[in-house]
Protein backbone atom coordinates (compact mmCIF):
# COMPACT_ATOMS: atom_id res chain seq x y z
CA UNK A 1 0.00 0.00 0.00
CA UNK A 2 1.31 3.47 -0.92
CA UNK A 3 1.98 5.81 1.97
CA UNK A 4 0.16 9.07 1.17
CA UNK A 5 1.02 10.77 4.41
CA UNK A 6 4.70 11.62 3.83
CA UNK A 7 5.54 15.03 5.33
CA UNK A 8 8.19 17.34 3.83
CA UNK A 9 10.02 17.92 7.09
CA UNK A 10 9.96 14.26 8.07
CA UNK A 11 11.12 13.08 4.66
CA UNK A 12 14.10 15.47 4.75
CA UNK A 13 14.82 14.89 8.45
CA UNK A 14 14.75 18.64 8.97
CA UNK A 15 14.56 18.35 12.74
CA UNK A 16 17.94 16.61 12.69
CA UNK A 17 19.51 18.82 10.04
CA UNK A 18 18.33 22.19 11.37
CA UNK A 19 19.30 21.30 14.91
CA UNK A 20 22.78 20.05 14.01
CA UNK A 21 24.64 23.37 14.46
CA UNK A 22 26.40 23.81 17.80
CA UNK A 23 28.83 26.75 17.70
CA UNK A 24 31.81 26.37 20.01
CA UNK A 25 31.64 30.10 20.68
CA UNK A 26 28.21 29.65 22.26
CA UNK A 27 29.57 26.90 24.51
CA UNK A 28 32.29 29.28 25.71
CA UNK A 29 29.77 32.12 26.03
CA UNK A 30 31.86 34.17 23.60
CA UNK A 31 29.33 34.63 20.77
CA UNK A 32 30.85 34.78 17.28
CA UNK A 33 28.19 35.55 14.69
CA UNK A 34 30.04 34.09 11.68
CA UNK A 35 30.59 30.67 13.22
CA UNK A 36 27.07 29.65 12.19
CA UNK A 37 27.93 30.46 8.57
CA UNK A 38 31.17 28.50 8.93
CA UNK A 39 29.36 25.41 10.24
CA UNK A 40 26.56 25.44 7.67
CA UNK A 41 28.93 25.84 4.71
CA UNK A 42 31.04 22.91 5.85
CA UNK A 43 27.98 20.77 6.51
CA UNK A 44 26.78 21.58 2.99
CA UNK A 45 30.20 20.56 1.64
CA UNK A 46 29.97 17.19 3.38
CA UNK A 47 26.48 16.57 2.00
CA UNK A 48 27.74 17.27 -1.51
CA UNK A 49 30.77 15.03 -0.93
CA UNK A 50 28.31 12.26 -0.02
CA UNK A 51 26.46 12.82 -3.30
CA UNK A 52 29.72 12.84 -5.28
CA UNK A 53 30.73 9.51 -3.71
CA UNK A 54 27.28 8.15 -4.54
CA UNK A 55 27.74 9.13 -8.20
CA UNK A 56 31.29 7.74 -8.35
CA UNK A 57 30.16 4.39 -6.96
CA UNK A 58 27.38 4.16 -9.56
CA UNK A 59 29.78 4.98 -12.42
CA UNK A 60 32.31 2.45 -11.13
CA UNK A 61 29.62 -0.23 -10.97
CA UNK A 62 28.76 0.28 -14.64
CA UNK A 63 32.37 0.46 -15.81
CA UNK A 64 33.26 -2.69 -13.84
CA UNK A 65 31.16 -4.82 -16.17
CA UNK A 66 33.11 -7.13 -18.51
CA UNK A 67 31.75 -5.18 -21.49
CA UNK A 68 30.20 -1.74 -21.73
CA UNK A 69 28.26 -1.18 -24.94
CA UNK A 70 29.34 2.20 -26.32
CA UNK A 71 26.02 2.44 -28.16
CA UNK A 72 23.83 1.87 -25.12
CA UNK A 73 22.02 3.65 -22.31
CA UNK A 74 24.80 2.47 -19.95
CA UNK A 75 27.46 4.75 -21.40
CA UNK A 76 24.96 7.61 -21.59
CA UNK A 77 24.31 7.08 -17.87
CA UNK A 78 28.04 7.26 -17.15
CA UNK A 79 28.33 10.53 -19.10
CA UNK A 80 25.25 11.97 -17.40
CA UNK A 81 26.49 11.20 -13.89
CA UNK A 82 30.02 12.43 -14.55
CA UNK A 83 28.48 15.64 -15.92
CA UNK A 84 26.42 15.97 -12.75
CA UNK A 85 29.62 15.63 -10.72
CA UNK A 86 31.16 18.50 -12.69
CA UNK A 87 28.13 20.69 -11.93
CA UNK A 88 28.30 19.84 -8.22
CA UNK A 89 32.01 20.65 -8.11
CA UNK A 90 31.32 24.02 -9.74
CA UNK A 91 28.81 24.68 -6.96
CA UNK A 92 31.43 23.79 -4.34
CA UNK A 93 33.77 26.35 -5.87
CA UNK A 94 31.05 29.02 -5.72
CA UNK A 95 30.36 28.24 -2.06
CA UNK A 96 33.74 29.79 -1.33
CA UNK A 97 32.23 33.13 -2.43
CA UNK A 98 29.81 32.83 0.49
CA UNK A 99 32.61 31.84 2.86
CA UNK A 100 34.61 34.89 1.83
CA UNK A 101 31.89 37.19 3.12
CA UNK A 102 33.51 36.36 6.48
CA UNK A 103 36.49 38.60 7.21
CA UNK A 104 39.75 37.45 8.86
CA UNK A 105 38.76 39.20 12.09
CA UNK A 106 35.35 37.49 11.99
CA UNK A 107 37.15 34.15 11.73
CA UNK A 108 39.52 34.95 14.59
CA UNK A 109 36.51 35.39 16.86
CA UNK A 110 36.18 31.60 17.02
CA UNK A 111 39.13 30.02 15.16
CA UNK A 112 41.17 28.95 18.18
CA UNK A 113 38.11 27.24 19.69
CA UNK A 114 38.07 24.75 16.81
CA UNK A 115 41.42 23.01 17.44
CA UNK A 116 42.18 20.35 16.37
CA UNK A 117 39.11 20.19 14.08
CA UNK A 118 39.94 21.03 10.47
CA UNK A 119 38.64 20.56 6.96
CA UNK A 120 41.77 18.46 6.53
CA UNK A 121 39.88 15.80 8.50
CA UNK A 122 37.22 15.43 5.80
CA UNK A 123 37.42 11.67 5.29
CA UNK A 124 34.73 11.83 2.60
CA UNK A 125 36.87 14.09 0.42
CA UNK A 126 39.90 11.81 0.84
CA UNK A 127 37.74 8.80 -0.06
CA UNK A 128 36.41 10.67 -3.11
CA UNK A 129 39.94 11.40 -4.33
CA UNK A 130 40.86 7.74 -3.83
CA UNK A 131 37.77 6.46 -5.66
CA UNK A 132 38.58 8.73 -8.60
CA UNK A 133 42.16 7.46 -8.77
CA UNK A 134 44.49 9.49 -6.55
CA UNK A 135 46.88 6.95 -5.03
CA UNK A 136 48.46 7.26 -1.59
CA UNK A 137 51.98 7.35 -3.06
CA UNK A 138 50.96 10.33 -5.20
CA UNK A 139 49.67 12.39 -2.29
CA UNK A 140 51.36 15.49 -1.02
CA UNK A 141 51.87 15.66 2.75
CA UNK A 142 51.52 11.97 3.46
CA UNK A 143 52.63 12.54 7.06
CA UNK A 144 49.43 14.54 7.68
CA UNK A 145 47.16 12.46 5.48
CA UNK A 146 45.29 10.42 8.13
CA UNK A 147 47.03 11.64 11.28
CA UNK A 148 43.95 13.40 12.70
CA UNK A 149 41.35 10.77 11.80
CA UNK A 150 39.66 8.13 13.93
CA UNK A 151 40.31 4.51 13.03
CA UNK A 152 36.86 3.85 11.57
CA UNK A 153 37.34 6.72 9.10
CA UNK A 154 40.84 5.53 8.25
CA UNK A 155 39.33 2.11 7.47
CA UNK A 156 36.82 3.72 5.08
CA UNK A 157 39.61 5.55 3.23
CA UNK A 158 41.77 2.42 3.02
CA UNK A 159 38.82 0.51 1.61
CA UNK A 160 38.33 3.21 -1.04
CA UNK A 161 42.04 2.99 -1.92
CA UNK A 162 41.82 -0.78 -2.37
CA UNK A 163 38.82 -0.71 -4.68
CA UNK A 164 39.20 -0.27 -8.43
CA UNK A 165 39.26 3.46 -9.04
CA UNK A 166 37.60 5.29 -11.93
CA UNK A 167 41.08 5.78 -13.41
CA UNK A 168 41.83 2.04 -13.31
CA UNK A 169 38.42 1.20 -14.78
CA UNK A 170 38.98 3.83 -17.49
CA UNK A 171 42.25 2.14 -18.47
CA UNK A 172 40.51 -1.25 -18.70
CA UNK A 173 37.63 0.22 -20.72
CA UNK A 174 39.99 1.91 -23.19
CA UNK A 175 42.06 -1.25 -23.58
CA UNK A 176 38.90 -3.10 -24.67
CA UNK A 177 38.39 -0.71 -27.59
CA UNK A 178 38.03 -3.17 -30.50
CA UNK A 179 38.70 -1.07 -33.60
CA UNK A 180 42.44 -1.73 -33.93
CA UNK A 181 42.23 -5.49 -33.46
CA UNK A 182 39.54 -6.06 -36.11
CA UNK A 183 41.32 -6.36 -39.48
CA UNK A 184 38.13 -5.73 -41.41
CA UNK A 185 38.07 -2.14 -40.21
CA UNK A 186 41.40 -1.51 -41.99
CA UNK A 187 40.86 -3.47 -45.21
CA UNK A 188 40.93 -0.43 -47.51
CA UNK A 189 42.99 1.93 -45.37
CA UNK A 190 45.36 3.79 -47.70
CA UNK A 191 48.62 3.98 -45.79
CA UNK A 192 51.15 6.73 -46.49
CA UNK A 193 54.03 5.05 -44.69
CA UNK A 194 55.35 1.90 -46.46
CA UNK A 195 55.68 -0.45 -43.51
CA UNK A 196 55.21 -4.20 -43.64
CA UNK A 197 52.80 -4.57 -40.75
CA UNK A 198 49.12 -4.83 -40.07
CA UNK A 199 47.10 -1.80 -41.23
CA UNK A 200 46.31 -0.82 -37.65
CA UNK A 201 50.05 -0.50 -36.99
CA UNK A 202 50.56 1.39 -40.25
CA UNK A 203 47.94 3.89 -39.08
CA UNK A 204 50.09 4.75 -36.05
CA UNK A 205 53.22 4.94 -38.21
CA UNK A 206 51.38 7.36 -40.47
CA UNK A 207 50.11 9.35 -37.54
CA UNK A 208 53.56 9.60 -35.94
CA UNK A 209 54.99 10.91 -39.21
CA UNK A 210 52.23 13.50 -39.55
CA UNK A 211 52.63 14.54 -35.92
CA UNK A 212 56.41 14.78 -36.10
CA UNK A 213 56.26 16.78 -39.31
CA UNK A 214 54.20 19.48 -37.60
CA UNK A 215 56.52 19.98 -34.63
CA UNK A 216 58.57 23.14 -34.21
CA UNK A 217 62.32 22.76 -33.74
CA UNK A 218 61.94 23.48 -30.03
CA UNK A 219 59.49 20.57 -29.76
CA UNK A 220 61.75 17.91 -31.30
CA UNK A 221 61.93 15.97 -28.02
CA UNK A 222 58.21 15.23 -28.43
CA UNK A 223 59.09 12.72 -31.16
CA UNK A 224 60.62 10.39 -28.59
CA UNK A 225 57.95 11.30 -26.06
CA UNK A 226 55.41 10.01 -28.58
CA UNK A 227 56.99 6.54 -28.40
CA UNK A 228 57.12 6.70 -24.62
CA UNK A 229 53.38 7.32 -24.35
CA UNK A 230 52.05 5.17 -27.17
CA UNK A 231 54.54 2.35 -27.67
CA UNK A 232 56.78 1.58 -24.69
CA UNK A 233 54.91 0.18 -21.69
CA UNK A 234 58.07 0.29 -19.57
CA UNK A 235 59.12 3.86 -20.32
CA UNK A 236 58.17 7.09 -18.64
CA UNK A 237 58.14 5.87 -15.04
CA UNK A 238 54.94 4.88 -13.27
CA UNK A 239 51.80 5.27 -15.31
CA UNK A 240 48.08 4.58 -14.92
CA UNK A 241 47.16 4.39 -18.60
CA UNK A 242 48.85 1.76 -20.75
CA UNK A 243 50.12 2.56 -24.27
CA UNK A 244 47.15 0.63 -25.65
CA UNK A 245 44.71 2.72 -23.58
CA UNK A 246 46.48 5.94 -24.62
CA UNK A 247 46.19 4.99 -28.30
CA UNK A 248 42.48 4.36 -27.87
CA UNK A 249 41.95 7.64 -26.00
CA UNK A 250 43.84 9.65 -28.63
CA UNK A 251 41.87 7.96 -31.41
CA UNK A 252 38.64 8.95 -29.63
CA UNK A 253 39.82 12.56 -29.38
CA UNK A 254 40.90 12.66 -33.04
CA UNK A 255 37.76 11.12 -34.54
CA UNK A 256 35.13 12.19 -32.01
CA UNK A 257 32.95 13.51 -34.85
CA UNK A 258 31.88 9.94 -35.61
CA UNK A 259 28.64 9.01 -33.80
CA UNK A 260 30.05 5.94 -32.02
CA UNK A 261 32.89 7.99 -30.50
CA UNK A 262 30.83 10.92 -29.24
CA UNK A 263 29.88 9.36 -25.88
CA UNK A 264 33.40 7.98 -25.26
CA UNK A 265 34.76 11.47 -25.94
CA UNK A 266 32.30 12.94 -23.44
CA UNK A 267 33.53 10.43 -20.84
CA UNK A 268 37.12 11.62 -21.33
CA UNK A 269 36.11 15.27 -21.41
CA UNK A 270 34.02 14.97 -18.24
CA UNK A 271 36.93 13.41 -16.36
CA UNK A 272 39.16 16.30 -17.44
CA UNK A 273 36.49 18.73 -16.24
CA UNK A 274 36.33 16.96 -12.88
CA UNK A 275 40.10 17.38 -12.51
CA UNK A 276 39.82 21.03 -13.54
CA UNK A 277 37.07 21.77 -11.03
CA UNK A 278 38.94 19.98 -8.23
CA UNK A 279 42.00 22.04 -9.09
CA UNK A 280 39.94 25.25 -9.13
CA UNK A 281 38.44 24.33 -5.75
CA UNK A 282 41.90 23.71 -4.29
CA UNK A 283 43.18 27.03 -5.67
CA UNK A 284 40.23 29.00 -4.32
CA UNK A 285 40.56 27.21 -0.97
CA UNK A 286 44.28 28.00 -0.82
CA UNK A 287 43.68 31.66 -1.67
CA UNK A 288 40.93 31.92 0.93
CA UNK A 289 43.12 30.34 3.64
CA UNK A 290 45.96 32.73 2.80
CA UNK A 291 43.55 35.64 3.06
CA UNK A 292 42.14 34.43 6.36
CA UNK A 293 45.20 33.25 8.31
CA UNK A 294 48.23 34.28 6.27
CA UNK A 295 51.20 32.02 7.01
CA UNK A 296 49.81 30.46 10.21
CA UNK A 297 49.32 26.69 10.47
CA UNK A 298 45.89 25.13 10.07
CA UNK A 299 43.76 24.28 13.09
CA UNK A 300 44.34 20.60 12.32
CA UNK A 301 48.13 20.99 12.42
CA UNK A 302 48.83 21.10 8.68
CA UNK A 303 51.03 23.80 7.16
CA UNK A 304 47.94 25.69 6.01
CA UNK A 305 48.49 27.50 2.71
CA UNK A 306 51.72 25.60 1.96
CA UNK A 307 49.99 22.23 2.26
CA UNK A 308 47.13 23.39 0.03
CA UNK A 309 49.59 24.65 -2.58
CA UNK A 310 51.41 21.31 -2.56
CA UNK A 311 48.13 19.47 -3.08
CA UNK A 312 47.16 21.89 -5.84
CA UNK A 313 50.43 21.26 -7.68
CA UNK A 314 50.43 17.46 -7.28
CA UNK A 315 46.89 16.10 -7.02
CA UNK A 316 45.95 15.86 -10.71
CA UNK A 317 44.15 12.56 -11.14
CA UNK A 318 43.59 12.46 -14.90
CA UNK A 319 46.82 14.15 -15.99
CA UNK A 320 47.62 11.32 -18.40
CA UNK A 321 44.45 12.08 -20.35
CA UNK A 322 45.23 15.79 -20.37
CA UNK A 323 48.73 15.27 -21.77
CA UNK A 324 47.29 13.48 -24.82
CA UNK A 325 46.29 16.86 -26.21
CA UNK A 326 50.03 17.38 -26.83
CA UNK A 327 49.72 14.82 -29.65
CA UNK A 328 46.72 16.21 -31.54
CA UNK A 329 47.10 17.40 -35.12
CA UNK A 330 44.87 19.58 -37.28
CA UNK A 331 41.67 18.01 -38.60
CA UNK A 332 42.67 18.65 -42.21
CA UNK A 333 45.79 16.51 -41.72
CA UNK A 334 44.08 13.50 -40.12
CA UNK A 335 44.55 10.16 -41.90
CA UNK A 336 41.42 9.22 -43.84
CA UNK A 337 39.86 6.13 -42.30
CA UNK A 338 38.69 3.24 -44.43
CA UNK A 339 35.10 3.02 -45.62
CA UNK A 340 34.67 -0.02 -43.39
CA UNK A 341 35.87 1.84 -40.33
CA UNK A 342 33.65 4.80 -41.16
CA UNK A 343 30.63 2.52 -41.33
CA UNK A 344 31.56 0.92 -38.00
CA UNK A 345 31.90 4.29 -36.28
CA UNK A 346 28.69 5.57 -37.84
CA UNK A 347 26.38 2.92 -36.28
CA UNK A 348 25.88 1.36 -39.73
Residue 33 assigned to a binding site: no
Question: CA-CA-CA-CA torsion for 97, 102, 105, 107, nearest 10 degrees?
Answer: -100
Which residues have CB under 8 Å from 94's CB, separation 6+?
A: none
Answer for the pair 70, 258: CB distance below 8 angstroms, yes or no.
no
Helix ranges (H only) for 69-165 are 73-99, 104-108, 123-132, 151-162
| Residue 317 marked in a binding site | no
40 is in an annotated binding site: yes
CA angle 299, 303, 305 (to 5 degrees): 95
Reference 84, options 39, 51, 44; nearest CA is 51
Give the separation between CA 182 and CA 203, rounded to whole angstroms: 13
Buried b (16+ CB within 10 A) or exposed e, 42-80: eeebeebbeebbebbeebbebbeeeebebeeebbeebbe
Q: Is 42 annotated as a binding residue?
A: yes
Residue 168, marked binder:
no
Residues in contact with 289: Cβ distance below 8 Å, sequence separation at least 6, in sequence order:
298, 304, 305, 308
Look up residue 164 and give its DSSP letter.
P
Query: Any binding-site annotation on 285?
Result: yes
Whole-angstrom Cα distance, residue 305 to residue 298?
8
| Cα–Cα distance, 279 to 193 (Å, whole number) | 41
Q: Let me know: does 203 contact 96? Beta carbons within 8 Å.
A: no
The answer to whether the annotation marks 339 as part of a ligand binding site is: no
* 38 among annotated binding-site residues: yes
3-state secondary structure of 288: helix
**What distances in angstroms separate CA 102 from CA 98, 288, 329, one per listed residue?**
8, 10, 48
Q: Residues marked as binding for heme?
A: 285
Q: Residues marked as binding?
A: 38-42, 111, 285, 299
Q: Residues marked as binding for substrate?
A: 38-42, 111, 299
Amino acid sequence: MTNTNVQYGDYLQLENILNAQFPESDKHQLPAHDEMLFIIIHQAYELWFKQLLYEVDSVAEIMSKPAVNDNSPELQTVVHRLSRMVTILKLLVHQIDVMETMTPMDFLDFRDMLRPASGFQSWQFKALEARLGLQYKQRFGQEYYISQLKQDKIDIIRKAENEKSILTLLNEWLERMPFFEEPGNWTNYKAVTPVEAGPEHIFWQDYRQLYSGGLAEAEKDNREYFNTVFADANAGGERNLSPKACRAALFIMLYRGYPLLQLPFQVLNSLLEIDEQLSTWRYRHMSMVHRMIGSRIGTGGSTGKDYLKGALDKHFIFAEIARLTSFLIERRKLPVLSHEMGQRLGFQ
